[in-house]
Structure 1
Amino acid sequence: MTIAPTGRRESRNGTEYVVFHRRFAAPVEDVWAAVTEPERLERWIGTWTGDPATGEVTFTMTAEGPDTPEERYVVEECAPPRRLVVRFADPSEGSGPDWVLELDLDDSEGFTTLAFAQAMPDAETASSVGPGWDYYLDRLVVAERGDDPGELDYEQYAADQSEYYRSAFS
C-alpha cells in the first residue's frame, strides 16, 4: 500500500513552506499538550529540556534512536493553546537556512485541526523533510489514538513520497 503525501507548498510572506494538517477529535488544549509537553511529545517524536521562558529549549528526537544529538531551538512565538513558532538554532550550521517550524491549532465543533508548517529552502531538502513530517505527524495521530507509533515505517514514507515533495519544490 502506498502512503500518500499530505503536505502542500504554500507561500507565506515571500517564503516557501510545506504545510500539513491533522485533525483530532479532542479539545484544543489536549492537542496543544501533545505538541508541547515533553512527556506527551516523547510518545511520538522526542522531548525537550530547559525553560521556554528564556526563549530557548534543547530538543532531542528520541524516535530516531539513542545516539541522536540534542538540538537547540529558539522560541519565536508562543500563544497557548493556539500558536507556536520555533527556529532551529545551531551556530555550527554556518550560513545555511534556518529551520522555522510553525504550529497553529484551530478548534471547531469538537475537533481540533493542527496546521504544521516548515520553511522549505529547496527541492532536495523537501524530498526528505516532507516524508519525514508526514511520518512524524502520523506518529502523533497514532500516539494520540493510544496505539503504538513504532509500527509506522519511515522508509516506506520516504520511498512513497520523496519524489512528490522534490517536484513540489522544484
Structure 2
Amino acid sequence: MTAKLSGRVEAEGGADWLVLERRLPGDQRRSWQALTESTLLDRFIGRWEGDPSSGEVSFFMTAEGSTEASSYRIIECTAPGKLVVESDFMGSVWHLALTLDESADGSLLRFAQRLGEGIELAEIGPGWEYYLDRLLAVESGGTVDSIRWDDYYPSPGYQALKG
C-alpha cells in the first residue's frame, strides 16, 4: 500500500510552507493535549523534556529510537489553538506551526513547516504524513502498528511537488 499525498505548498508571510491537515476525533482541548503533553506525544512521535516556560525544550524522536535530543525553541504557545516552534536540525532551521480549530466532529489540525534552504519536500513530506497518520491512529483508539514507513517513503508525489 502507498500512502496518499495530502500535503500542499502555500505561500504565507513571504515564505513557502508545506501544509498538511488532519481531522482528529477529539475536541480541541483533547487534541491539544495529544500534541503538547510529553507522554501523549510519545505515543506516536517522541517526547520532550525541560521547562516550556523557559522558552526551550529538548525533544527526543523516540519513534525513531533516537537517544539524542534536539533543542526546540517555543516561539508561540497559545493553548489550545496554536503552537509555533523552531529547531536547528540537520543543518537548517526547522520552523513548525500547528493550529487546532474546533469542528462539529472533532478538531482540525493544520500542520505547517516553512520551506527553505536545506529542506527537501521529498524528504520531509512523507515523514510528516507518516507521523500525522500515527497521531490519527492513536487518537482514534488504535495503535501505530498498522502505520508502516515503507508505505510513505519514497513518495513520487512529494518528489514532484515543488515549493
TM-score by length of 2: 0.93
Question: Aligned in 2, Cα 1:56/1:46: closer, same or farther, shift over 3 Å?
Answer: same
Percent identity over the alignment?
39
Structure 1 equivalent of residue 46 of structure 2: 46
| Residues 125-140 of structure 1 aligned to structure 2 (within 5 Å) | 125-140=120-135
Instruction: Select the structure that is richer in helix.
Output: 1
One-letter identity of the residue aligned with 1:150: D
One-letter identity of the residue aligned with 1:55: G
Secondary structure of the equivalent of 1:155? helix
- Partners of 1:98 and 1:123 lie apart in 2 by 9
Between stretches 142-151 and 68-77, larger displacement belongs to 142-151
One-letter identity of the residue aligned with 2:132: L
- Partners of 1:51 and 1:129 lie apart in 2 by 27
TM-score by length of 1: 0.89
Unaligned runs of 5+ in 1: none
- Partners of 1:154 and 1:102 lie apart in 2 by 23
Aligned residues: 163
Please state how far the C-alpha of 1:149 moved relative to its aligned partner: 0.5
Question: Aligned in 2, Cα 1:122/1:52: closer, same or farther, shift over 3 Å?
Answer: same
**Within the alignment, does 1:116 sit opposite 2:115 as a pair?**
no
Unaligned runs of 5+ in 2: none
| Residues 1-170 of structure 1 aligned to structure 2 (within 5 Å) | 1-65=1-65, 67-89=66-88, 96-121=91-116, 125-159=120-154, 161=155, 163-169=156-162
One-letter identity of the residue aligned with 1:121: G
Please state how far the C-alpha of 1:124 moved relative to its aligned partner: 6.5
- Partners of 1:73 and 1:155 lie apart in 2 by 28
Query: Is the contact made by 1:24 and 1:111 (CA closer than 8 Å) also made in structure 2?
Result: yes
Please state how far the C-alpha of 1:64 moved relative to its aligned partner: 0.4
Please state how far the C-alpha of 1:155 moved relative to its aligned partner: 2.0
Question: Aligned in 2, Cα 1:47/1:109: closer, same or farther, shift over 3 Å?
Answer: same
Instruction: Select the structure that is richer in strand.
Output: 2
One-letter identity of the residue aligned with 2:83: L
Secondary structure of the equivalent of 1:166? helix
- Partners of 2:119 and 2:16 lie apart in 1 by 14
Please state how far the C-alpha of 1:28 moved relative to its aligned partner: 0.2
